[in-house]
A = this chain, B = another copy of it.
Amino acid sequence: MIQRLIDGIVKKDAPVVVGLDPNLSFIPGFILENARSFVEEGGREIPEYCEKENMAAAEAVWQFNKGIIDAVCDLVPAVKPQVAMYEQFGIPGMIAYRRTVEYSRSKGLIVIGDVKRGDIGSTSEAYARGHLAGKAFDVDFATVNPYLGSDGVKPFLAVCKEYDKGIFVLVKTSNPSSGEFQDVLTGDGRAVYELVGQKVREWGADSMEGVYSNVGAVVGATYPEQARILRRLMPHTFILAPGYGAQGATAADLSEFFDPDGLGAIVNSSRGIIAAYKKEEYGKFGEEGFADAARAASLAMIEDLRGVIHGGRTVWNIGR
Contact = CB atoms under 8 A, between A and B. Distances in A.
Interface of A: 21, 23, 45, 47-49, 51, 53-54, 82, 84-85, 87-91, 93-95, 98-99, 116-124, 126-127, 129-131, 135-137, 145-152, 170, 173-182, 184-187, 189, 192, 195-196, 199
Contacts of A95: 47-49, 91
A175 B149 CA distance: 9
A275 to B, nearest CB: 12
Given A87-B131, A87-B136, A93-B130, 8 more contacts: A23-B122, A51-B135, A88-B126, A88-B136, A89-B136, A149-B177, A149-B179, A150-B180
B118 A145 contact: yes
Nearest to A148: B173
A185 B195 CA distance: 12
B45 A48 contact: yes
A22 to B, nearest CB: 10
A88 B182 CA distance: 30
A171 B82 CA distance: 25
A147 B88 CA distance: 21
Contacts of A123: 21, 82, 84-85
A133 to B, nearest CB: 8
Number of identical monomers bound together in the oligomeric complex: 2
A174 to B, nearest CB: 8
Contacts of A174: 120
Nearest to A94: B94
Nearest to A189: B187
30 contacts: A21-B122, A21-B123, A45-B47, A47-B95, A49-B99, A54-B135, A82-B119, A84-B119, A84-B123, A84-B126, A87-B131, A88-B127, A88-B130, A89-B136, A90-B135, A91-B91, A93-B130, A94-B94, A116-B117, A146-B181, A147-B173, A147-B181, A148-B177, A148-B178, A149-B178, A150-B180, A151-B177, A152-B177, A180-B199, A184-B195
Contact of A181 (B119, B177, B179, B196): B196
A136 B82 contact: no
Contact of A177 (B127, B145, B150, B182): B150
Contacts of A129: 88
A119 B174 CA distance: 11
Nearest to A170: B147
A175 B123 CA distance: 12
Contacts of A137: 87, 90
A236 to B, nearest CB: 20
Contacts of A49: 95, 98-99
A176 B150 CA distance: 9
A3 B256 CA distance: 50
A94 B83 CA distance: 14
Contacts of A199: 180
Contacts of A189: 187
A200 to B, nearest CB: 12
A224 to B, nearest CB: 19
Contacts of A119: 82, 84, 116
